[in-house]
Structure 1
Amino acid sequence: MDQAATDLKNVATAGTAQKRKIVLGFSGGLDTSFCVKYLTIDKGYEVHSVIVNTGGFTPEELKTIEQHAYTLGVTTHTTVDAVKDYYDTIIKFLVFGNCLKNNTYPLSVSAERLSQALHIAAHAKALDADGVAHGSTGAGNDQVRFDMIFHILIPGVEIITPIRDLKLSREQEITYLKEKGVEMNFAKAVYSINKGLWGTSVGGVETLKSKGVLPEEAWPTQVTKTGTEEVKLGFVKGELKSVNDKSFDHPTEAIQYLQSIAGAYGIGRDIHVGDTIIGIKGRVGFEAAAPMIILKAHHALEKHVLTKWQLNWKDQLALFYGNWLHEGQIMDPVMRDIEAFFESSQQTVTGDVFVQLNPYRFQVIGIESANDLMSDKFGKYGEMNTGFTGEDVRGFSKIFCNQTSIYHKVKEANNGQ
């Protein structure tokens, strides 16, 4: 074939060259909307958006987000219902461990992002994508969580992060989208809101500094309830299975039902201050009525039905588990080992917990369980016992302190020489 024929063939095939196929984790918010326009218009990619619902969207909202994705220019859009899987693989173990980051934060977004990353990676693999994209900035934890999961599950697939790479501010993203004719609620984009089954995070100008509180209008759930209300939470082997004697097929339904009761009290609102994976401090507001009530109720039940050393080792493992999950290390096999311990520890964590709800606060009233180790059959703390005598305690006390007693006697003798 002569050069002219070769050139003619190249011209003929140039227009049919296949575009690079990119899977984009999509929420319909400002960042991922920018990603669609930038990747399709500026980069010329074929974008396939996927939204992973971890409990933060209604069916109507998901339909609106799908329409928004196609309006922006995606080739295909997929909705993954991951709510039950999210609970079964992550949230369940956060409850078993009573995990609160820095004794404050129920790891709402931390856990959610990992579930989303796992499903986005699976979707990219199924589509045999050339690249996978997410809308994380270069300042937070999410970029590390997404990147690590992708490196582990789809190695070799390019990771594309327009917001991070271009170092864009939210104002710059809004300007770009307006120039491209995109219509969306840009006023709402002033606050970054991430809603899921295990709580909602809220970020805004007030959380960028070390002092400041979010205004009432920034909270997604407004306070509309007053007075006092009592709820009864039924746990079976550590899992919430009923609320006020209303039983549910799956704990996710019980969580959502409790949220519908407690959310309007403004319970679970706080601002978390923590250390990011990349070494800087950060503040974020969150509301998590159901998660906070469940964690405290579950912990109260455990204190009644587990032994001292079960509780001790659970606390130590839970601290590591929560921190390691927060830093995106859900795929580390040590996490499966700790989960196995958590699962084993829950065999007797069955019973009812009574909680009093009030505006902006709640109180655990008590528990009822057939496995209660505080049973008065064996005595009453500070009053009487039926399992031993005072003479038994007298001898036990001498034996229990024997080695420490010897230490001090030796120390005293040596100091006297």
Structure 2
Amino acid sequence: MAKAEKIVLAYSGGLDTSVILPWLKETYGYDVVCYAAELGQGDELKGIQKKAMATGAVSCYVDDLRQEFVENFVWPLVKSGAVYENGYLLGTSIARPLIAQKQVEIAQKEGAVAVAHGATGKGNDQVRFELTFMSLDPSLKIIAPWKDPNFKLTSREAAIDYAKKHKIPIEQTKKKIYSRDRNLWHISHEGADLENPWNEPQDNLFVMSRPVSKAPAKPDYVEIDFEQGIPVKLNGKAMDGVKIIETLNEIGGLHGVGQVDLVENRLVGMKSRGVYETPGGTILMTAHEALETLCLDRETYHYKKQIALKYAQIVYNGQWFCPIREALDAFIDSTQKTVTGTVRVKLFKGRATAAGVKSPYSLYSEEIASFEMGAEYDQMDAIGFIRLFGLPMKVNGIVNRKTSKKKTAGKTKRKTAAKKTK
């Protein structure tokens, strides 16, 4: 009897991948190797190896990738300032390339011929996984069950029924049916009542943070130290990146910071509605932005804002392993050489606001910015500056005025001639 070929499945232990595992065995006869990444999901991975093996996997890898996730993916994101459509801090988007990268490595180690994921054919994750697979090992076959005509479990209700029939342990029920994705950076909530954008998110939806209505009536302050754009200390204490984010998640979550309700434009063309919690990430992005306003010159700061929009699009679209992202990182890293200093952030009733910033590389001068006269800035120089800066507008105004006069004169002549004719 021929030995079965191997496939590596990105396995979270959630509803979709729990039913996909036995389905791959039943439909294609693959030996399924499961891969799970610890990215800060809390206790979601508890007992996952045992569950995978009981459901039919031949083996199950579980890697703690939190440090790598923060240092190689989250920190570049923070330095870029990327935010998708003014609200989404890209928590799921930034994690998928790392998971897929490790999945490819396991496939190569195991001699697998294929890789699989549980993303649907309507979402963005299918693109993020598959672009990474294609980039890192084009020889691997990609199996995406939700896009397979043989896959009939195309609703969460059907998947739940399949799990019950095959005695697969799951947490989801038909009443508790939110689709969630959690890691160190955020948690997302989709589906169920959220599919109607008229429905307000209920208080019991939130996991990482309190509802704003239940946040403390007294603010908290945190101080974050950055070195070349990377957070290195929290409240004066040196910490690694994982600890900084975990601590800020706890403090920010207490104050309801980082809750975003967004109807966004998916890459595949449709709009979708998601509710996101990113307490620590919101604090860090707020602090980093405040420090950049102090340390970057005007032209660099303004151009970097344009880069941030492109960077967000690249991450959202799953193009992490792409030459343009690497090129943009080189530019961003250059801008971060002076982004060193301390930011104090106020946390209060769902908001994180910069409440103080200082840096040895500050370009802000109190003497120059003051309303008091000083030798560094002669206000009389502004006369010539404005005259030259406004010269194109002045010339345009002169031309428009002449043209307007000619038009007015022409109308007057036509009206006079018309009267004479009558």
Greater alpha carbon shift after TM alignment, 156-165 vs 382-391: 382-391
Encode CA deviations 1:299-319: one digit per residue, 9 max, x unaligned: 011111111111111001110
Q: Given the alignment, which residue of 108, 113, 130 partners 2:96?
A: 113
Tell me what 2:6 maps to. Answer: 21
Matched, 1:93 2:76: yes
Tell me what 2:189 maps to. Answer: 202
What is the one-letter code of the residue matched to 1:213?
E
Does the aligned pair in 2 maintain the 1:273–1:282 contact within 8 Å? yes
Q: Note the 1:374-413 alignment, pairs <5 A.
A: 374-376=364-366, 378-413=367-402
Q: Given the alignment, which residue of 17, 35, 38 partners 1:50?
A: 35
Matched, 1:69 2:52: yes
Give the deviation of 1:237 after TM superposition: 1.0
Q: Given the alignment, which residue of 218, 230, 233 partners 1:239?
A: 230
Encode CA deviations 1:157-181: one digit per residue, 9 max, x unaligned: 2211223322510110110111112
Tell me what 1:184 maps to. Answer: 170
Does the aligned pair in 1 maintain the 2:163–2:170 contact within 8 Å? no
Residues of 1 paired with 2:352 and 2:72: CA distance?
A: 28
Q: Report SS of the residue matched to 1:47.
A: strand
Residues of 1 paired with 2:128 and 2:312: CA distance?
A: 14
Matched, 1:216 2:203: yes
Tell me what 2:418 maps to. Answer: none
Give the deviation of 1:259 after TM superposition: 1.2
Matched, 1:362 2:352: yes
Residues of 1 paired with 2:385 and 2:349: CA distance?
A: 48
| Structure 1 residues 257 and 398: alpha-carbon distance in aligned structure 2, compared to 1, 3 A threshold | same
Residues of 2 paired with 1:390 and 1:225: CA distance?
A: 48
Does the aligned pair in 1 maintain the 2:9–2:33 contact within 8 Å? yes
Encode CA deviations 1:237-278: one digit per residue, 9 max, x unaligned: 111111111111x32321122112212222111212111111
Does the aligned pair in 2 maintain the 1:22–1:132 contact within 8 Å? yes
Residues of 2 paired with 1:76 and 1:231: CA distance?
A: 44
| Structure 1 residues 303 and 33: alpha-carbon distance in aligned structure 2, compared to 1, 3 A threshold | same
Greater alpha carbon shift after TM alignment, 76-85 vs 21-30: 76-85
Residues of 1 paired with 2:243 and 2:353: CA distance?
A: 23
Q: Identity, % of aligned pairs?
A: 31
Residues of 1 paired with 2:159 and 2:141: CA distance?
A: 23
Matched, 1:84 2:67: yes
Residues of 2 paired with 1:152 and 1:400: CA distance?
A: 48
Tell me what 2:413 maps to. Answer: none
Give the deviation of 1:196 after TM superposition: 1.1
Q: Where does structure 2 lack aligned partners over 5 or more consecutive residues?
A: 407-422
Does the aligned pair in 2 maintain the 1:35–1:163 contact within 8 Å? no
What is the one-letter code of the residue matched to 1:95?
V
Greater alpha carbon shift after TM alignment, 223-232 vs 313-322: 223-232
Tell me what 2:247 maps to. Answer: 257
Tell me what 1:4 maps to. Answer: none
Residues of 2 paired with 1:29 and 1:49: CA distance?
A: 13
Q: Report SS of the residue matched to 1:106.
A: coil
Q: Report SS of the residue matched to 2:380.
A: helix
Does the aligned pair in 1 maintain the 2:71–2:241 contact within 8 Å? no
Residues of 2 paired with 1:212 and 1:374: CA distance?
A: 45
Residues of 2 paired with 1:357 and 1:159: CA distance?
A: 45
Greater alpha carbon shift after TM alignment, 193-202 vs 154-163: 154-163
Give the deviation of 1:386 after TM superposition: 3.6
Q: Report SS of the residue matched to 1:347.
A: helix
Give the deviation of 1:415 after TM superposition: 5.4
Encode CA deviations 1:48-104: one digit per residue, 9 max, x unaligned: 00012223245xx53411221112121011012222222233222221121111111
Q: Note the 1:110-189 alignment, pairs <5 A.
A: 110-165=93-148, 166=151, 168-187=154-173
Residues of 2 paired with 1:101 and 1:410: CA distance?
A: 42
Q: Given the alignment, which residue of 278, 282, 285 partners 1:288?
A: 278
What is the one-letter code of the residue matched to 1:390?
Q
Residues of 2 paired with 1:78 and 1:85: CA distance?
A: 17
| Structure 1 residues 222 and 407: alpha-carbon distance in aligned structure 2, compared to 1, 3 A threshold | closer
- Count residues in correspondence: 398
Tell me what 1:193 maps to. Answer: 180
Using structure 1 for the length normalisation, give the TM-score.
0.90
Q: Given the alignment, which residue of 228, 232, 254 partners 2:219?
A: 228
Residues of 1 paired with 2:146 and 2:403: CA distance?
A: 68
Matched, 1:304 2:294: yes
